[in-house]
Structure 1
Amino acid sequence: MTKFSRRQFAGGILAGSATLAMPSLAFGARPRVVVIGGGAGGATAARYIAKDSGGAIDVTLIEASKRYYTCFFSNLYLGGFRNYGSIGHNYYGLAVNRGV
């Protein structure tokens, strides 16, 4: 039996999955990226993929909630300087400004 390292296995998976995308790229289809999870990290990733590609990549963001809440500035909420809604964000800006 042949032994594979994790690196060889991962490389094989990547090479195999890349060949699945080839037929759509050969016919001129726009590449697509699906981001699962729209918290601070997912929303930021979706935003910058769409922004940096200049619209060349179709970005879809999958998230169950309509809003997400961040830890950024949560200390101001905990200290009573801001309300809870101020650390919440929706996806409207991503949809309108970036087409995500």
Structure 2
Amino acid sequence: MQSNNLTYQGNPYTKYQQFLYTLIKCLHDKGCEYRRIAHKLNKWNVKTTRGKAWFNTSVSSVLKRKHERDVRIEQIRHKEYPIKIGKFSIKYYTY
């Protein structure tokens, strides 16, 4: 049997990380560029999960990594494989 579903299935994101992603995604969907989003987050005194200031690269990284994770979970982790039954036997040897 083959499976890619051997990882922890809980929610690895904290509530703060989910809040950040939702906020960034909302601003991006409204047409804001990464630099402008970073400027707004810094102006609102919203820190990264590590307590740092925002840059355009960190904003794009949040969106990029979330998208990559969603694709990986959907296409790779939950991929179903056909069942293959092969020859299997157990032999006991006594010495």
TM-score norm. by structure 1 comes to 0.24
State the structure with more CA Rg. 2
> Greater relative contact order: 1 or 2 (C-alpha under 8 angstroms, separation 6 or more)?
2
TM-score by length of 2: 0.24
